């Protein structure tokens, strides 16, 4: 062969090969048939019980399916039922002498208390409520590295409705070592207790109660963040989220007690009052690390808002891989919260109409510690079953009200049509 | 706050150094190595925390509201 | 890692699939075997029920080829052109006189001469989709069949997986990507002096085709001259003193195989030829 022809043989060959292998083994477009579209189903049921207080049982079913190349739809339904009672912020002391009272302890047998003015108040408000909720979402890969999703939410209970939409984007950059994420959602909630919302700071014992009908709460949530691959075994994530609440943010079931400073005894019980807007920030850091077999997850969140609430949340989970397909995960969560500016255990007298006050322990000075274990079994490559138990103790850092013990049991089953690595329609790159 | 930014920088720096090859992503692709490995548990825990505490956010948006008491 | 093994095209065939989904792996191994057997059935010169038999027994009549066969004939035609006639699918007849058994039994030159009129792609009328062979001529796709089967199998498997697949049909290989833990595939080149018993060179590759042209024990040795099994269809005689083994890596297996064959035909110029082409190669 002549010299010049030699040089072009490789090219001529490549060209000739194109005729024989229509697209070439690496360039063949993938057209999916129905049988190739993967799906995933998750179901969970749980029983949550507070010591002597609220119990909730909840069931959630979620189903997700690929609907085309790089596109998926998912549907989720939840149903929960709550019964029991919650502390409503009313406090009372055993009276020094005199007046007619009954047993007076928050966790006592008879829970009513009579004030001198003839009011009766139950320090616990009983709830019996059912909630149904649905979520639908559609996501797809807009480009091979950009994933987008839109989500819609509906939730209905006896005294509360919620409507929401949202979307998020996830962008892989720098050779997929870094992923930038951003999300935005809007929610509209209707707060509608049975007889309408009470007028704030009105005495609960008043004979002519003023009811304000439905309240509306609007929320905008936004989040930006990035996740970074550190090495083959480590992944970390940092997010900042900003949430804006506007509208009726008061809890219609919570009271605050007016305590006479001289006598030390409660003199009145008022409905609480909170501001009508709230700006909430959080910075969240999360890391996952793979040992030889086991995996550890650690996260920390710092939260602060314009009501004065600040909190630190630390969460550690260690998943111990046992024999074939079985694993045991232990988790610890430690939460500390600094009280809202207007959080008060009680009021010394009638409050100014322009001020805010709440005795809701959830805005108080809290410490919550949780310990949990979860046992998981992989049955085949496609089914995972897990049982989880969690014990939490929520206590008041100022020791003004008693601790609350919570137990949680949760069973979950996940079934997927094929081994789906990262919950996306795309094989690992 | 400052420590967080320093942390951020450190993370970015270490990440930018040696990109890992596609075939080295085997561990990262596993379900148990995802940042949220168990969405059902995570959703339930988040909702409980939202109901019993005064904080929110950090994980994601658009989970739906509830009048949790 | 699962390895499917079967026999096809008179060679031991292996398909390596490194994938966690066992269900999918088994399905893909079945697809691979089915494709290899399909190609064998369709293009084997030993069968009487395929297009090759029709072509070779047409007695001068034109045969209309299907898409796939026409594509292969086009490819063979292009290779004939670019090799100046050294690669010729009508040269199979020479196997009647040449028996490469390591002995010194060279065929009768007259016998070779008698076959030459029945060899030569230029004598064939190829007007797609009709192929007309003059009576007495025959075509043999054995020179590209195995490599083609490897690439077609890879094409099918690439619809499901993008990595972790390696195909080896009798020494013609293709890898879709490395193993899932990142390690490339390790291939050993057979020692031409001890076929099947020794590995002379270790190659690591993770993507593309790899083919070896080698004589194994298919040569004749007389008076110190080694006659390789690659025959020059223009003369009917083999390449003299060729390299024992030439391995080439290319984008696809069929390209790797053709480059290796063309290199062998260069005799002692094989190394120069492959350097010119700019492909990775190993000559033993």
Top-ranked range on mean pLDDT: pick from A12-26, A31-45, A145-159: A145-159
Whether A369 shows a pLDDT value over 90: the answer reads yes
Question: Could you give the domains of chain C?
Answer: 2-283 (3.10.520.10)
Q: Can you give the pLDDT at residue A218?
A: 93
pTM of the entire structure?
0.60
User: Å from B52 to nearest chain A CA?
Assistant: 6
Q: Can you give the pLDDT at residue A165?
A: 95
pLDDT band at C82 (very low <50, low <70, confident <90, very high): confident
C-alpha atoms less than 13 angstroms from C-alpha of A131 in its C-beta half-sphere? 25
**Chains near A (3 or more Cβ pairs under 8 Å):** B, C
Query: Residue written as tokens 């506007």?
Result: A246
Residues 157-176 of C with CB under 8 A from B: 163
State the average pLDDT over residues A139-160.
Answer: 89
Q: What is the pLDDT of residues C200-216, one digit of tens each?
A: 677 788 888 999 888 76
User: ipTM higher than 0.85?
Assistant: no
Least confident of A162-166, A197-201, A230-234, A303-307: A197-201
Q: Are A180 and A226 in contact (CB under 8 A)?
A: yes
Whether A429 shows a pLDDT value over 60: the answer reads no
Mutate to test the interface with A, among C126, C159, C177, C248 (most CBs of A within 10 A): C159
pLDDT above 90 covers what percent of chain A? Answer: 44
Mutate to test the interface with C, among A16, A18, A21, A25 (most CBs of C within 10 A): A25
Whether A314 shows a pLDDT value over 60: the answer reads yes
Whether A341 shows a pLDDT value over 70: the answer reads yes
pLDDT band at A423 (very low <50, low <70, confident <90, very high): very low
- Asked whether the beta carbons of residue B35 and residue A309 sit closer than 8 angstroms, the reply is no
Whether C222 shows a pLDDT value over 90: the answer reads no
Top-ranked range on mean pLDDT: pick from A218-222, A267-271, B32-36: A218-222
State the average pLDDT over residues A5-13.
Answer: 70
Residues 137-166 of C with CB under 8 A from A: 148, 151-152, 154-155, 157-159, 161-162
What is the rounded CA–CA span in Å between residue A247 and residue A242? 17
Query: Average pLDDT over chain A, rounded to whole?
Result: 81
Q: Are A205 and B47 in contact (CB under 8 A)?
A: no
What is the rounded CA–CA span in Å between residue A276 and residue A246? 6
- Asked whether the beta carbons of residue C79 and residue A7 sit closer than 8 angstroms, the reply is no
State the average pLDDT over residues C2-28.
Answer: 88
pLDDT band at A95 (very low <50, low <70, confident <90, very high): very low
Residues 327-386 of A with CB under 8 A from C: 381
Whether B23 shows a pLDDT value over 70: the answer reads no
Q: Are C141 and C43 in contact (CB under 8 A)?
A: yes
**B42 contact residues in A (CB cutoff 8 A):** none
CA torsion through residues A12, A15, A21, A26, sign: positive
Closest by Cβ to A381, choosing from C20, C72, C162: C20
Size of interface A-C (CB pairs under 8 A): 89
Strands A266-271, A277-290: pairing is: unpaired
pLDDT band at B60 (very low <50, low <70, confident <90, very high): confident
Written as one string, the DSSP assignment of A128-182 is: EEEEEEEEEEEEEEEETTEEEEEEEEEEEETTEEEEEEEEEEEEEETTTTEEEEE
**C72 contact residues in A (CB cutoff 8 A):** 20
H helix and E strand count, chain B: 2, 0
Q: Can you give the pLDDT at residue A96?
A: 37
C-alpha atoms less than 13 angstroms from C-alpha of C212 in its C-beta half-sphere? 22
Q: Are C167 and C173 in contact (CB under 8 A)?
A: yes
What is the rounded CA–CA span in Å between residue A263 and residue A247? 37
């Amino acid at each position: 062969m002549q010299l010049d022809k030699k040089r072009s043989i490789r090219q001529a060959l490549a060209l000739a090969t194109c005729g024989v292998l229509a697209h070439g083994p690496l360039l063949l477009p993938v057209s999916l048939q129905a049988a190739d579209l993967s799906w995933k189903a998750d179901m969970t049921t749980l029983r949550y019980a507070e010591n002597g207080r609220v119990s909730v049982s909840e069931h959630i079913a979620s189903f997700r399916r690929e609907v085309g190349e790089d596109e998926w739809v998912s549907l989720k339904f939840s149903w929960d039922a709550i019964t029991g009672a919650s502390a409503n912020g009313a406090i009372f002391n055993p009276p020094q002498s005199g007046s007619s009272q009954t047993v007076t302890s928050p966790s006592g047998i008879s829970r009513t208390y009579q004030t001198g003015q003839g009011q009766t108040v139950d320090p616990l408000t009983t709830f019996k409520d059912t909630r149904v909720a649905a979520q639908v979402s559609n996501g797809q890969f807009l480009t091979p590295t950009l994933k987008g999703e839109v989500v819609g939410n509906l939730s209905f209970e006896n005294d509360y409705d919620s409507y929401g939409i949202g979307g998020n984007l996830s962008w892989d950059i720098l050779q997929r070592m870094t992923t930038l994420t951003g999300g935005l959602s809007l929610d509209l909630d209707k707060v509608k207790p049975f007889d309408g919302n009470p007028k704030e700071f009105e005495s609960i014992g008043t004979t002519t109660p003023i009811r304000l009908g439905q309240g509306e709460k609007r929320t905008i949530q936004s989040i930006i963040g990035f996740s970074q691959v550190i090495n083959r075994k480590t992944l970390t994530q940092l997010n900042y989220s900003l949430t804006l609440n506007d509208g009726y943010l008061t809890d219609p079931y919570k009271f605050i007690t007016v305590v006479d400073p001289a006598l030390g005894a409660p003199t009145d019980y008022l409905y609480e009052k909170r501001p009508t807007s709230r700006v909430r920030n959080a910075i969240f850091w999360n890391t996952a690390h793979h040992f030889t077999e086991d995996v550890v997850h650690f996260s920390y969140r710092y939260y602060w808002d314009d009501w004065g609430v600040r909190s630190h949340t630390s969460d550690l989970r260690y998943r111990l891989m046992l024999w074939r397909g079985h694993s045991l995960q232990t988790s610890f969560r430690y939460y500390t919260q600094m009280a809202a500016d207007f959080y008060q255990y009680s009021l010394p007298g009638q409050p100014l109409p322009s001020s805010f006050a709440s005795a809701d322990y959830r805005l108080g000075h809290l410490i919550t510690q949780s310990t949990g274990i979860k046992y998981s079994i992989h049955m085949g490559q496609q089914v995972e079953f897990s049982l989880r138990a969690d014990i939490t103790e929520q206590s008041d850092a100022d020791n003004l009200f008693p601790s609350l013990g919570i137990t949680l049991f949760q069973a979950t089953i996940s079934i997927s049509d094929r081994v789906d690595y990262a919950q996306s329609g795309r094989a690992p790159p | 706050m400052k420590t967080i930014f320093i942390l951020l920088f450190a993370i970015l720096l270490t990440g930018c150094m040696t990109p890992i090859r596609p075939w080295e992503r085997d561990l990262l692709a596993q379900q148990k190595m995802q940042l949220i490995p168990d969405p059902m548990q995570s959703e339930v825990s988040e909702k409980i925390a939202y109901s019993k505490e005064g904080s929110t956010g950090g994980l994601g948006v658009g989970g739906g509201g509830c009048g949790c008491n | 890692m699962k390895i499917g093994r079967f026999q096809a095209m008179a060679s031991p065939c292996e398909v390596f699939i490194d994938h966690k989904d066992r269900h999918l792996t088994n399905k893909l191994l079945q697809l691979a075997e089915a494709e290899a057997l399909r190609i064998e059935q369709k293009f084997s010169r030993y069968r009487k029920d395929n297009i090759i038999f029709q072509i070779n027994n047409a007695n001068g009549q034109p045969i209309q080829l299907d898409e796939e066969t026409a594509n292969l004939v086009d490819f063979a035609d292009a290779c004939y052109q670019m090799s100046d006639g050294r690669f010729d699918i009508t040269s199979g007849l020479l196997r009647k006189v040449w028996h490469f058994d390591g002995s010194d039994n060279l065929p009768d030159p007259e016998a070779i001469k008698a076959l030459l009129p029945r060899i030569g792609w230029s004598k064939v009328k190829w007007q797609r989709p009709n192929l007309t062979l003059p009576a007495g001529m025959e075509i043999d796709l054995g020179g590209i069949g195995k490599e083609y089967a490897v690439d077609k199998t890879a094409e099918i498997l690439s619809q499901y997986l993008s990595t972790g697949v390696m195909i080896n049909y009798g020494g013609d290989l293709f890898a879709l990507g490395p193993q899932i833990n990142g390690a490339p595939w390790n291939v050993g080149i057979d020692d031409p002096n001890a076929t099947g018993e020794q590995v002379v060179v270790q190659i690591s590759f993770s993507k593309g085709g790899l083919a070896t042209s080698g004589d194994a024990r298919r040569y004749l040795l007389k008076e110190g001259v080694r006659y390789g099994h690659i025959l020059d269809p223009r003369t009917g005689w083999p390449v003299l003193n060729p390299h024992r083994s030439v391995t080439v890596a290319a984008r696809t297996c069929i390209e790797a195989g053709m480059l290796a064959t063309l290199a062998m035909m260069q005799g002692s110029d094989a190394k120069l030829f492959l350097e010119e082409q700019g492909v990775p190669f190993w000559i033993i």
